[in-house]
Amino acid sequence: MGIHQYFQSLSDLENIYRCPGKFKYQEHSVAEHSFKVTSIAQFFGHVEEQAGNKVDWRALYERALNHDYSELFIGDIKTPVKYATAELRAMLSEVEESMTQNFIEREIPAQFQEIYRHLLKEGKDETLEGRILAIADKVDLLYESFGEIQKGNPEPVFVEIYSEALATIYQYRDMASVKYFLAEILPDMLREKSIRTTDLPKLTTDIRENAIKKTN
């Protein structure tokens, strides 16, 4: 028991790869994903601040940095959504939550347990920081699937992930950071030479129109 165990567990997150069971040209560990999501959330925080919104920076960094720590317990298993019902996913989420609580009680010294209960709790909620985390997580997922599509990965799952991630981002399109993403970043992404001849530009337009239609 002790912080030594916690420090070593950070290294175990380097051994868990995202989207297991599918061929990928480039692997991403959960540790790497966490770094990128935090960096993306940091950028979006600045966009929100320039748009006049108040950002609780400590909360933003805390949520982003720790949001996938509990993948340590059951790994990254959300991928084959095709075969998972909402009920199944709820069960898996409950399992993960229980294991995280077990871990804190067994490994974290008493004086820090309250802190880690706070740090490792679900960070996506209706606060500005919770919403920034939600979109930063999806933007990194979008980049991961984009990277595979761009390199020529024929697995249809990456087009599904791209679509699902982008559709979720559109749900937050009233946020200043999402507006910036849609206006400035996404077009640059789709202008990449290897993408112009794929279905991605058309698919992106469809997703946008679909998102707009749903809310009218």
Compute the C-alpha angle 60/6/55, nearest 5°.
5
Rounded least distance, CB 213 to a copy of itself, Å = 26
- Report how far residue 119's alpha carbon sits from residue 157's, in angstroms, rounded to the nearest whole number: 32
Ranges within 2-31 binding a copy of itself (CB under 8 A): 2-8, 10-17, 20-23, 25-26, 28-29, 31
CA-closest candidate to residue 73, choices 90, 93, 57, 49:
93
Least Å distance, CB 185 to a copy of itself, is 5
User: For 75, left (φ over 0), alpha (ψ -120 to 50), or beta?
Assistant: left
Beta carbons within 10 angstroms of residue 98's beta carbon: 11
Out of 184, 196, 209, 210, the only residue in the binding site for a copy of itself (CB under 8 A) is 184
* Residue 31, token pair as written in the block: 């540790």
203 binds a copy of itself (CB under 8 A): no
Which of these segments, 77-85, 125-133, 165-173, 206-214, binds a copy of itself (CB under 8 A)?
77-85
Of 12 and 125, nearer to a copy of itself (C-beta) is 12
Binding mask 121-150 vs a copy of itself (x if CB under 8 A, - otherwise)? ------------------x---x---x--x
Q: Applying CB under 8 A, does 196 fall inside the site for a copy of itself? A: no
HSE (side-chain half, CA atoms, 13 Å) at 43:
15
Pick the binder of a copy of itself from 53, 74, 117, 172 (CB under 8 A).
74
* Given 94, 196, 205, 212, the residue binding a copy of itself (CB under 8 A): 94
Burial class for 121, CB neighbours closer than 10 Å (0-12, 13-18, 19+): middle
Pick one of 54, 111, 126, 216: the residue that binds a copy of itself (CB under 8 A). 111
Instruction: Report the residue number, 87 or 126, with the smaller CB distance to a copy of itself.
Output: 87
Amino acid at 185: I
